[in-house]
Structure formats: C-alpha cells, structure tokens
Amino acid sequence: MSLCALCSALTISKLYPPNIYHHGANVAALKQSGESCQLCKLIHWSLSRASEAEHHPQLHFEGALDDLIPYGERKERDKCSIKLQIITQAWNEKFEMVETNEIFKVGIWMKSKYMIADFALVVEEGIAACVSVLTLH
C-alpha cells in the first residue's frame, strides 16, 4: 500500500485523545494526495459520502465553529484543514454517548467541532495492517 508522508507518520498515540492529528491542509489537497496515497483516498471517500446527523461527538480545537458546514458547500470545505482523532465513545440505543474500553473508530473533523465522518480500523491477527470502512455518518 502506498502512503503519503502524512499518512506514513500516523501512529495510535498521535490519534489517541486528547491528541488531534492535523492531516491535510484542505479537501483539495486530500483529493490530490489520494491519487497516489490509498489512505488519503479512503479519507476523501469517507468525507464525500458523509451525511449530516444530529449525534456527532464534539472535538474542541482552536478555530472550531459551533455549526456543521454541509459537505456539499465545496468552497468552504476546500479551505478547511482536516483533523483526525480516535473516538473511544459509542452511542447506545437512546443515542447517549458512552465510553468504551476499545478503540471505536477514527473521527474526521473539518473546521466544525462536530465530527463530519468516521471509519473503523480493523487489524486481523497475522496481517501487518488492514483498513476497512465499517460505518459512515
């Protein structure tokens, strides 16, 4: 699997709360990097298929906005940096956030403090690394 410098530098500790991994400068840069980096392509694919939902975890970082910016507003999104963080929370049947002891998924934020998209990481025993999309919000 070919990876760019940003994706090659990813580690669990860089993603684990309270750390935030500043991944890409904007959507346009992510899309361009996705032409040669498979993980950038996956992140861009996740964002392009993201839908707005009411129950997104919040991530507080400098410059975060209180409102979700719809993904379709391309001009605004192209200016937004991309931030990644591991989510160790899950929603119960009442849509309440509950802590888990496991790494749940990687959340993707862009300017808004509300998660825009997410994907789960799966590693099978005996295989060096495997990334699989399980859920998108």
pLDDT at res. 7: 92
Residue 135 located in a structural domain = no
pLDDT digits (tens, 9 = 90+) for 96-126: 666 666 656 888 888 888 888 888 766 666 5
Q: Is the dihedral of CA 71, 74, 76, 81 positive or negative?
A: positive
**Does residue 51 belong to any structural domain of this protein?**
yes
In a domain, 89, yes or no: yes
Tokens read off for 124: 């099978």
pTM for the model stands at: 0.76
Asked whether residue 106 is assigned to any structural domain, the reply reads yes
Q: Are 97 and 57 a contacting pair, CB within 8 Å?
A: yes
The predicted structure's pLDDT at residue 112: 86
- Looking at the structure of the chain, the number of domains it has is 1
Q: Could you tell me if residue 63 is inside a domain?
A: yes
**For residues 21 and 101, what is the distance between their CA atoms, to the nearest angstrom?**
21
Report if residue 30 sits inside a domain: yes
* pLDDT tens, residue by residue, 44-72: 988 887 765 555 778 888 888 888 777 67
Sign of the CA dihedral 21, 54, 74, 60? negative
Residue 128 in any domain: the answer is no
| Domain contains 87 | yes
Number of Cβ atoms within 10 Å of the Cβ of 107: 24
Q: What is the residue range of 60's domain?
A: 5-119
